[in-house]
Amino acid sequence: MIDFAGRTAFVTGGANGVGIGIVRALLAQGCKVAIADIRQDAIDKALATLDNNEVMGVQVDVASREAMAEAADKVEAQFGPVSLLFNNAGVNLFQTIEDSSYSDWDWVMGVNLNGPINGVMTFVPRMIEAGNGGYIVNTSSMAGWQASGSPGIYNTSKFAVRGLSESLRCSLAKHRIGVSVLCPALVKSYIYASDDIRPTELMDGAKPVDHENVKRLAEFHDFGMEPDVIGERVLDGMRDNRMYIFSHPEHKEELAALFDTYMSDFKDYPNDPGYEKRVEFEKFRRKSYDDAREAAKHAI
């Protein structure tokens, strides 16, 4: 079981929603915490609610490799090596893929996928060098399992975060670094207003903001899970070293039905040339995958 007390944590998208819930939960466990967010005003408001000397704010665009490296240096200079990383920052465009532009792709994927990639590439080498083990939580979504027409780019990014995390979980086990994928559903946050922080250089082809839809989404998010509830559930998942942290149990039945649908798409075909050799190879591959997943269970 991971010991939180005294560790330094870096939480992207940490100023509201899931992020601030994680921040509060970590502080309660005796961690030193950096709230990393692109909005300085949101960081200031978050810090004003926290009566704790072991928290700092750092403004950063997670889509920028250089900015992430600078933020890491700043945090570690004040709080020491980061051994708890939460790649949580995310944005959304509530539209279909065919209604999207290349700039839409660059923006959403830049934050939702390149953000976790940049977090991993920035901090993992430092964590390995420090030799103190640690933990990484990458925020995917139930939208990383359940896809419909909209939001197409968001679905794409969150499915990809799952693949990144599962691979990383296996490769980092030998370094005593755990990896979990957080898959939340509706949370009380401001992701519905993502357009407010869209960079001007990525506005080419952007559709006008549908303010009526934003208003409807705000009403839905108002009864989303409280940040403090999800924050505690994240730490609970880390203590158990679970691969997936499903914070919203109301999705369990739907996900089970979805897997039944996947399985129903397998068909029995007659053996083709090469089948037997492929089966032997797949036995070897499957055992190596099973061994890696088993080792990851005991990394922490």
CA dist 209 and 50 (Å) reads 33
- Report if residue 3 sits inside a domain: no
Active-site choice (102, 154, 192, 289): 154
- Report if residue 1 sits inside a domain: no
- Report if residue 59 sits inside a domain: yes
Give Cα 90 distance to the centre of its chain: 8
Residue 210 φ then ψ, to 5°: -85, 90
- Report if residue 2 sits inside a domain: no
CA dist 20 and 230 (Å) reads 10
Q: Which structural domain, as residue segments, surrounds residue 121?
A: 8-297
- Position 80 scores a pLDDT of 98
Per-residue pLDDT tens digits for 206-246: 988 877 777 777 777 788 999 999 999 999 999 999 999 99
- Report if residue 264 sits inside a domain: yes
- Report if residue 285 sits inside a domain: yes
Per-residue pLDDT tens digits for 16-34: 999 999 999 999 999 999 9
Known catalytic residue at 154? yes
- Report if residue 145 sits inside a domain: yes
Residue 175 φ then ψ, to 5°: -100, 10
CA dist 150 and 130 (Å) reads 42
Per-residue pLDDT tens digits for 52-64: 889 999 999 999 9
Q: How many domains does the chain have?
A: 1
User: What percentage of the chain carries pLDDT values higher than 70?
Assistant: 99
Question: With bands split at pLDDT 50, 70 and 90, how would you rate the model's confidence at 189?
Answer: confident
- Report if residue 12 sits inside a domain: yes
CA dist 147 and 225 (Å) reads 21
Q: What angle do CA 230, 231, 232 make, to 5 degrees?
A: 90
The reported pTM is: 0.96
Q: What is the CATH number of the domain that holds 30?
A: 3.40.50.720
Asked if the model's pLDDT at residue 89 lies above 80, the reply is yes
- Position 193 scores a pLDDT of 78
- Region 276-296: mean pLDDT is 97
- Position 214 scores a pLDDT of 73
